[in-house]
Structure 1
Amino acid sequence: MKHFSATDATPRALNFAMPPEWDPHAATWMSWPADDELWFGHLGAVRAEFAELVRTIARFEPVQLLVRDAESRQDAGERLAGADVTFHDVPLNDVWIRDNGPLFVTRESGEISFVNWRFNAWGGKFDYAEDDRVPEAVARILGAAHWDVPVVLEGGALELGGAGVALTTRSCLLTDTRNLGLDAGKYADWLREYLGVTKLLWLGAGLENDHTDGHIDTITRFSDERTIVTSVEADRADPNHAVMSANLEALREMTGADGQPFRIVELPLPAGYLEGAEGRLPPTYANFYIGNGFVVVPQYGDANDARALEILTPLFPGREVIGLSSRAIIEGGGSFHCVTQQQPVGAVWTGQA
């Protein structure tokens, strides 16, 4: 297995780039929840929702599930019996594999590899030593050559739209607890060389009380190369209203790789105010996950649940749009996109140019 560094030939130099989420998957990677303290005493309810999510994804594509100890393996095994799930014993701190896992890249020859970015738990907010090692565990499991780079980047901070276009937020990437000294231009350089992003579009900020400092995947997503779904808040008294409105106006001025404007679809935030152990929670319907023939959308027992499904369903022709409960999972601060990481279809690259 080869490890490449930032001084070696970059993925871009070898014609690798990160594909959009809707490209075919070989598998979905996930990590099983295990720490009751991190879930504020709600681990049982979280695991029940997690099991439903894993089972749903496994109806469409294989799930590669990381489990941190014997108790986790036994619990997951019992809840997921008969599902298309492969278990891997890997030390873990938490479940947010979108952020701490590998970001896969592909090239036209049909090979896949990945980039191992640094993970520091959203600026050192939680323990993260084990989670920062997850990409190396995946590399051992797959036998994959890959790149190790000295830049902190979470997968949830970047939304790929195809054709080299990506979205992100200033409030997340430009915080000094990620990469002190990296400005927007330097980020663009790293993302171009290591993920093939040739046009990086910046929004201002994310949801109130989002411990990720405003990940893009909780507010604004691509459904195809030309269509962007973005969260809106109708209540002018809600702190999210001004931020989401500013993002909406910015998106209306943006263009794709071809210089043409995007189609912008407004997606309401949940109408209810959800309170967790540490204050307001950041529930959102934009944290959906796109897989082979399906899209799973978080639901919260909220008045806007059905409306969100109505808006999203026609945006994914040929895919079954499925609403699943995330009322317990959101207690941890994220939802379905945050706990999944797609592996594209392709032969695992072993390091040959």
Structure 2
Amino acid sequence: MADHNISATSKDLGFTFPAEWHPHRATWLTFPHNDASWQGDKLAKMRPQYFEFIKQISQGENVCFVTNDEALKNFITEELSKINVDLSKIEFLIKPTNDAWCRDHGPSFVINPETGQKMIVDWGHNAWGGKYPPYNDDNRTPRAVASYLNIPIINPGIIMEGGAVEFNGAGSLLTSKSCLLNLNRNPHLNQGQIEKTLCDFYGVEQILWVEGGIVGDDTDGHIDDTTRFVSEDTVVACVESDVNDENHEILQTNLQMLKEMRLVNGKQLNIIELPMPKAVIIDDFRTPGSYANFLICNAGVIVPVFNNPNDQVAIDILGQAFPGRKIIPLLATEIIWGQGSFHCLSQQEPLV
């Protein structure tokens, strides 16, 4: 394989990052094994919800685990067997790992629609502005995946996280100022330089910015907790109806910015408002519970729910937003304590 840093950009080479609803070959995950994110007994408590997530994805595509060691691989295999997961759909890449958030440190797959080729963009990972060292093992994950799949890899040379960006598959990338313009990521780059790098290496035409993220989100405001494309011209945007809630103002600001945006073709976005859950508080901690942290996979749309009064409202809205796709609500009441959910944990590999 071309295991070297290609001098051209992804866009130069005809590659682009497809929308999440593009068919998947697989979904990648980094198996959680230390208690950095789920302390004490919380790691054991979240695992049944995590394994149910795996089971649902595996109904429609392969699931690829980046797994710390052979012992962990054996544990995963045993646990998946207990819940009747088809093990022929499970792949393992054994390598050292730090944390579980594969959306952010894992491989970013771009495809060339003309040639059917696939390539990995190896963005730098610094654990959300250096918040959770060590992160060196996770930062090496994209290169290891490229080697495993025997596909080329390209390195833009800047810090970026998969949860910070959202794609419509038609030239538009949506992100938040509070995250990508934060000085703890790329302090040497201005907004224009960041936009150019994103366009060059994700193969998009425009960068659309909302302001910020929700309370409890330690990523400085990832877009996948607030605003998601559901088609080329439609987004679901989180809103908080309680004017006294900490999330009300920032989500209204984001909503107004979305209303003013124009896509590459000049059209306005269709905006579907998605309620926030009533505050998801665990051990006096306000978690970043959000129905927007869903994963679109071949089997359907896996939506985090929280035994919350707004669960069914959100399920119904997303059912209308994704006509023809199965909505799969899964409890994330234990997973969310780690400050992320199903989308944060996973990264799709497109089928070409």
**2: CA distance between counterparts of 1:4 and 1:250?**
40
Query: Which of 323, 329, 332 is equivalent to 1:323?
Result: 329
Query: Which of 180, 193, 210 is equivalent to 2:187?
Result: 180
Partner of 1:103: 108
**TM-score (normalised: structure 2):** 0.95
Partner of 2:240: 233
Structure 1 position 214 matched with structure 2 position 213: no
**1: CA distance between counterparts of 2:116 and 2:343?**
25
**1: CA distance between counterparts of 2:341 and 2:36?**
18
Partner of 1:245: 252
Question: Identity over aligned residues, as a percent?
Answer: 41
Deviation at 1:319, TM superposition (A): 1.4
Structure 1 position 53 matched with structure 2 position 59: no
Contact 2:156 2:197 in 1 (8 A): no
Q: What is the 5 A alignment of 1:100-139? A: 100-108=105-113, 109-127=115-133, 128-139=135-146
Deviation at 1:186, TM superposition (A): 0.7
Deviation at 1:37, TM superposition (A): 4.6
Contact 1:188 1:197 in 2 (8 A): no
Partner of 2:290: 284
Q: Which amino acid aligns with 2:27?
A: T
Q: What is the 5 A alignment of 1:144-183? A: 144-183=151-190
Partner of 2:91: 86
CA distances 1:194-242 after superposition (whole Å, capped 9, x unpaired)? 1112110001000013110000011100000111101001111111000
Contact 1:272 1:303 in 2 (8 A): no
Contact 1:33 1:46 in 2 (8 A): no
Partner of 1:224: 231
Partner of 1:345: 351
**2: CA distance between counterparts of 1:163 and 1:222?**
11
Runs of 5+ unmatched residues, structure 1: 347-353
Q: Which amino acid aligns with 1:291?
A: C
Query: 3-state DSSP class of the match of 1:130?
Result: helix
**1: CA distance between counterparts of 2:149 and 2:283?**
38
**1: CA distance between counterparts of 2:79 and 2:348?**
22
**2: CA distance between counterparts of 1:197 and 1:236?**
36
**2: CA distance between counterparts of 1:211 and 1:310?**
28
**2: CA distance between counterparts of 1:118 and 1:187?**
13
Deviation at 1:85, TM superposition (A): 1.1
**1: CA distance between counterparts of 2:37 and 2:222?**
20
Deviation at 1:4, TM superposition (A): 4.3
Partner of 2:313: 307
Partner of 1:21: 20
Partner of 2:62: 62
Deviation at 1:90, TM superposition (A): 1.6
Partner of 2:268: 261
- How much is the aligned-residue C-alpha RMSD, in angstroms? 1.3
Q: Which amino acid aligns with 1:39?
A: W
**1: CA distance between counterparts of 2:92 and 2:10?**
29
Q: Which amino acid aligns with 1:210?
A: D
**1: CA distance between counterparts of 2:80 and 2:190?**
44
CA distances 1:79-106 after superposition (whole Å, capped 9, x unpaired)? 1124221122121111101000111111
Moved more, 311-320 or 153-162: 311-320
Partner of 1:350: none
